[in-house]
Amino acid sequence: MSSCPRRSRRVPGICMLFLLLLFAFPAASLASGQTTEASLWKLLQKPDHFAMLRHALAPGTGDPADFTLGDCSTQRNLSEEGRSQATRIGERIREKGTSGADVYTSQWCRCRDTAELLGLGPVNELPSLNSFFRNFERETRQTAELADWLEKRDPDKPLVLVTHQVNITAMTGVFPDSGELVIVRRDRDGGFSVAGTIKTD
């Protein structure tokens, strides 16, 4: 997967070592250390690239003990600042040349709200983007499912995936801030690599 080649899934020790090195030398995770923000916005419009977006500001960590999928009152939600941030992110994406996109989101309310406030197009739920913060045993399976979904997708439009920090870090090795975009390239060998990140706010 992004940081670890697909063939490396069978050797978790190698992947873990790679990720440790990645966190120690984060610049090495970028396809080009000289990648500019302007070029990253252009890459988002290419069929072999896509964006992973951490949901906008939602104060706190994790979710309440009574978390229930589909019931926002039991979840950690976007603050008013977070809702405003999500709207501004969508405006900025459009200003940079992406007027419409395929938008997929975690089923968590803070992600779905972020995705809808972007205003980039219809929002689709994708369970492989759901948080595994409280169930890390799902990390490997979910990340593999997402990678397989990406490989099978016909990239006819720009793609924005709205998800959680843990999901983005598992896929890319990047630890994003709330509202930060990670631009990812689909490599010819079926793997993924990070082109760069954009702090949108």
Please report which confidence band the pLDDT of residue 141 belongs to, taking 50, 70 and 90 as the band edges. very high
Percent of the chain with pLDDT over 70: 83
pLDDT greater than 80 at residue 130: yes
DSSP string, the chain: --SS-GGGGG-HHHHHHHHHHHHHSGGGGBS-TT--HHHHHHHTTSTTEEEEEE-----SSS--TT--TT-GGGS----HHHHHHHHHHHHHHHHTT----EEEE-SSHHHHHHHHHH-SS-EEE-GGGS--TT-GGGHHHHHHHHHHHHHHS---S-EEEEE-HHHHHHHHS--PPTTEEEEEEE-TTS-EEEEEEEE--
44-68 pLDDT, tens per residue?
A: 999 999 999 999 999 999 899 999 9
49-54 and 159-163 strand pairing: parallel
* pLDDT average, residue stretch 95-108: 96
Q: Indicate the pLDDT class of residue 17, thresholds 50, 70 and 90.
A: very low
**Which CATH homologous superfamily contains domain 6-199?**
Phosphoglycerate mutase-like (3.40.50.1240)
Residue 19's pLDDT is what? 45
Q: Which of 108-112, 155-159, 174-178 has the lowest mean pLDDT?
A: 155-159
Which pLDDT tens digit goes with each residue over 162-184? 999 999 999 999 999 999 999 99
Confidence of residue 155 (pLDDT cuts 50, 70, 90): confident
d(CA 91, CA 105): 18
Q: Are 53 and 180 in contact (CB under 8 A)?
A: yes
Residues in the chain: 201
Whether residue 69 is predicted with pLDDT greater than 50 in this model: the reply is yes
State if pTM tops 0.75: yes
